[in-house]
A and B are shown apart, each in its own frame.
Chain A
Amino acid sequence: MITVSQLTKRYGKRVAVDDLSFEVAAGRVTGFVGPNGAGKSTTMRMMVGLTRPDSGEVRCSGVRYRDLKSPARTVGSVLDARCMHPGRTARDHLRATAALSGMSRSRVPAVLAEVGLESAADQRAGKFSLGMRQRLALAGALLGEPEILLLDEPSNGLDPDGIRWLRDYLSGFARRGGTVFVSSHLIGELSMFAHDLVVIGGGKLLVAEPLAAITARNDVAVVIETPHSARLLALLAERGLPTDGTAGRVVVRGTSRAAVSKLAFDHGIHVVGLTETSRSLEDSLLDLTRASAEFASAATS
């Protein structure tokens, strides 16, 4: 597991990470979400000792990263899939990484097989597509058979088959007791396999909960299409329900489709359409992080 305690990092006057505390449990996939500039990459760099925090600490399996006897056997990280020499073959890249980590050279063909790069093992990394580089970077992280995987935007550049492969691999890794901490902008993709979410914005923790708890809180709205929208609005308002309506369409929250249907039937209101909608996880998280987004595009009309 990973324990982040009161982590803070400043660059001059700008606070990149502000008193961040959360835990990443073993046996689960934890998604790390936030807008650009939220502090995700800085946090992950502090986790592996590439950036020194101004205060607070991170412990992986109870130990600070720099104190780990064999970092590669505890934490496998992919913070930038482009980090490889283009003139070196995939096999030589992994041989050098394995040697530096103190791993047996027999791990090289094993991890190449795990990520599906055996046929490209002797090709120079400079000729790899981005997806292949992602796989090679993941192979490097797996050399030490770590307990923890830290991945920063691992699905960048992967085709749908590759994304599915990665999703299945990380889910399997967590099922076998490993800890997976993955940052991504693809909220929809994360929601398919993450168990927990940590959401940050402006360097601060916004949410750190199981995904099921976050989705359960999303409002359910009933949308009714009716030529008698004014009458229906009045009936719903009498019952104290929050409503929103335009001509021919009424949106009401805090009730169910069955209850609205019965109300309309009892009062002879003709209903043309009756649907239930909920806000997507993406909408919920975007609303949560909107105030702290560093770069925001103009709203489309």
Chain B
Amino acid sequence: MITTDTTVHSSPLAPRPAGPRPAGSRAPIRARGDDARGLGAALRSDWIKASTLRANRAILGLTLIGGLVVSWAVAVMVTDQVLTVAEVGFYWTTVSSMLAAIAGVLLFGSEVQHGTLATAITARPARWVLASSKAVTAAGFGLLIGAVGLAAGFGGAAIAGLDAGNTSSLVSTVSWALLFSTLSAVLGLGVVMIVRHNTAAIAGILVWGYVAENLFKLFLPAEVARFLPFVAGNHLLAYKSDLESPHALAIALSRAENAAVFGCYAAIALAVGTLLLYRRDTE
């Protein structure tokens, strides 16, 4: 339903405060510190933007419900091995990290799609402020999605009645999983800042993460394949995959190294995207 103008009534001219500065005087000029202070303003704006969109709430809802359902289903249906909450709780993280990447894409991609990027640039001409704010917001949202996904994963497994299992390294693994989700959101942001198209960015990330890398692993040497972004990222979760060869498992990078690899991809995408923000949006 389109609301027509007949429902809106013209208002009388509102009284305005004192007029502009005297003719001939100059407007205040931006100083170095103004941009840094502007970062706080940009963060507040991005928080409002992120929290007022139904798409973001839908992603969080999907993360929560999907995690509960998938973890419960795995716990109930896999009966040929002994599973624990500490293991099953992380299974959903691979998917929730993809959802975090999608959220990162939408954070910037929707601004391009609906033209609000131009409005943002006119409000804050310093493009690094906008890029930094988007990166921090993406990271925060990715962290939130990761936390919700883990809570749902553990919750679904617990509801299914699994034992807690070995929790000695749980805190460590949870931390790495949250980092994976956080960096995934930043990677998604960087990718869409480069391609400037929501669908292309989301499809590209999904196809790369779920299809391309699995194909590459078939013919690339394990020494090379371990540096693929989502291979490195998924290894932050530390559960062993039956699909990996003993040789690949033997030469696997440590979690810190995997985090550095995945983080580099996210950082490079973000850096290139920021550079393009300067070049493309001051055409």
Residues of A within 8 A of B (CB): 1, 26, 48-52, 60-63, 65-75, 77, 79-80, 82-89, 92, 95-97, 99-102, 110, 113-120, 123, 127-129, 131-132, 135, 140, 145, 147, 158-159, 161-162, 165, 168-169, 172, 176-178
A128 touches B3 (CB 8 A): yes
Q: Which of B30, B42, B114, B122 contacts A77 (CB 8 A)?
A: B122
Which chain A residue has the least Cβ–Cβ distance from B114?
A85
How many angstroms from the CA of A202 to the CA of B136 in the assembled complex?
A: 44
How many angstroms from the CA of A100 to the CA of B2 in the assembled complex?
A: 29
Extra inter-chain contacts (19) besides given A63-B29, A71-B124, CB under 8 Å: A48-B122, A50-B281, A51-B282, A51-B283, A60-B27, A69-B34, A71-B125, A80-B115, A82-B114, A83-B119, A87-B54, A96-B46, A97-B123, A100-B45, A114-B14, A119-B8, A131-B5, A140-B119, A177-B19
How many angstroms from the CA of A102 to the CA of B30 in the assembled complex?
A: 14
In the complex, B55 has a CB within 8 A of chain A: yes
Which chain A residue has the least Cβ–Cβ distance from B119?
A83
Which chain B residue has the least Cβ–Cβ distance from A74?
B27
B10 touches A162 (CB 8 A): yes
Q: Which residues of B contact A96 (CB under 8 A)?
A: 45-46, 48-49, 52
- A-B pairs with beta carbons under 8 Å apart, 17 shown: A26-B20, A62-B26, A68-B27, A69-B27, A69-B28, A80-B115, A86-B114, A92-B52, A96-B45, A100-B124, A101-B124, A116-B11, A119-B9, A129-B2, A140-B119, A162-B10, A176-B19
A70 touches B28 (CB 8 A): yes
B30 touches A177 (CB 8 A): no
> CB-defined interface of B29-42 with A at 8 Å, one 1/0 digit per residue?
11100100010011
Report if A116-B281 is in contact (Cβ < 8 Å); known contacts: A71-B125, A83-B114, A92-B48. no
Which chain B residue has the least Cβ–Cβ distance from A115?
B11
Residues of B within 8 A of A (CB): 1-5, 7-11, 13-14, 16-17, 19-21, 23, 25-31, 34, 38, 41-42, 44-46, 48-49, 52-55, 110, 114-116, 118-125, 281-283
Report if A61-B31 is in contact (Cβ < 8 Å); known contacts: A79-B118, A100-B123. no
Which chain B residue has the least Cβ–Cβ distance from A173?
B16
A68 touches B17 (CB 8 A): no
How many angstroms from the CA of A84 to the CA of B117 in the assembled complex?
A: 9
Report if A117-B8 is in contact (Cβ < 8 Å); known contacts: A62-B26, A96-B48, A100-B42. yes
Q: Which residues of B contact A73 (CB under 8 A)?
A: 27
How many angstroms from the CA of A66 to the CA of B38 in the assembled complex?
A: 14
A67 touches B4 (CB 8 A): no
B17 touches A50 (CB 8 A): no
A69 touches B121 (CB 8 A): no
Q: Which residues of A contact B28 (CB under 8 A)?
A: 63, 68-70
Q: Which residues of B contact A132 (CB under 8 A)?
A: 3, 5, 8
Q: How far is the CB of B189 from chain A (nearest CB, A)?
A: 17
Q: Which of A26, A48, A100, A129 contacts B3 (CB 8 A)?
A: A129
How many angstroms from the CA of A113 to the CA of B120 in the assembled complex?
A: 23
B121 touches A72 (CB 8 A): no
How many angstroms from the CA of A159 to the CA of B10 in the assembled complex?
A: 11
Q: Which residues of B contact A115 (CB under 8 A)?
A: 11
B5 touches A85 (CB 8 A): no
A61 touches B27 (CB 8 A): yes
Q: How far is the CB of B263 from chain A (nearest CB, A)?
A: 28
A1 touches B48 (CB 8 A): no
How many angstroms from the CA of A178 to the CA of B13 in the assembled complex?
A: 15
Q: Which residues of B contact A116 (CB under 8 A)?
A: 8-11
A-B pairs, top 3 by smallest CB distance, nearest first, are: A83-B115, A62-B26, A100-B45
B29 touches A69 (CB 8 A): yes
Report if A127-B1 is in contact (Cβ < 8 Å); known contacts: A49-B121, A86-B114, A99-B48. yes
Which chain A residue has the least Cβ–Cβ distance from B283?
A51
Q: Which residues of B contact A177 (CB under 8 A)?
A: 19-20
A72 touches B123 (CB 8 A): yes
Report if A99-B20 is in contact (Cβ < 8 Å); known contacts: A63-B29, A71-B123, A135-B8. no
